[in-house]
Structure 1
Amino acid sequence: MKFGVLQIVKDHLATLKDDRTGASSIIDLFILFVFPAIISVFVYRVATGVVETPVSEFVSAVSVFSAILVSSQFAIHAMLSRPLPEEHDDIQKEIFLKERESEIVILGEIHSTISYLIGFGVFSLFVALSFSVVSLCPHVEVAVLTWFTLHFVLTTLIVVKRIHLLLSRSYKRALDELLKAKE
């Protein structure tokens, strides 16, 4: 089915694992799903003076971030398309291949999480825009938008962390190669 997104959700959840054990990370799941719910319940209880839901601000922010995320998918594809260097001895080639394998795993996790964020962004936009048509209690709407916003931001931070890790390794490798070439 062309609209089936369950695999995207499964792939994203599969990236939320403890790197040491390979098991699902309860802490990551708590931070991404339960923590925003706790904050949303708190916002629901204290948002007594809310008269209007900030739907337009939410829609604008998520739309801009989703567009950026879509363009970043092309950058990931470009990184995967990088050719293997030809001039290496067997030891250098083995080291390069291990580093490349690690990069590809991280790029796959970034891709899965960005795909999830794009789908989540579309879903949350649909819900937020539906608040304009079917008005709920403003407290409920603000609580829902709070959960969506926190979940989106926290998941985006995961992408930023993974990109930072990947680029830090690339910069270190480039610097090492430059220093070696100077010798």
Structure 2
Amino acid sequence: MAEKEPTTELDSRFSSDKATPVSWSEARGLLERAEIYWLSTVRPDGRPHVTPLIGIWLDGALHFCTGPAERKARNLETNTRCVLTTGGNSLTEGTDVVVEGEAVQVRDEQALRRLAAAYEEKYGPSWHFDVADGAFAGEGGRALVFAVTPQQAFGFAREGEYGQTRWRF
């Protein structure tokens, strides 16, 4: 699947005078290489829920998995809108990336096999998943797999000049 190329803009309200926008290819590279992401979902009563997890950037979307009884899966049953973030904790270096979108469950066995191989390639053999009944299957039991295709994303750069980039898809 061809990835959709976003429009890119620097928000001067939140950027240093000499800041330049971060390219989408650079942000996508950060999403591909990140080891930890933070998923924000909304509970049925409206309260936020945030949790760290591992994930894969593949075919223009961030993918993550979760057990069907976990809070994040239960939240996504009633509200598929979510945010995934990754970055660092330094005030003066790095770039944070925030992806807004809707989590869509991946059930296609071929896509799941590609994702399972990508998880093992990125995180090692302890993250091996088999595919069965439209989900991952592993030592921890059944795991639903979700894809979040960006609808909008933000980059917060802190390399010398602070800059906020917005990508609209």
TM-score, scaled relative to structure 1 = 0.23
Structure having the higher strand fraction is 2
Structure showing greater Rg = 1
Structure having the higher helix fraction is 1
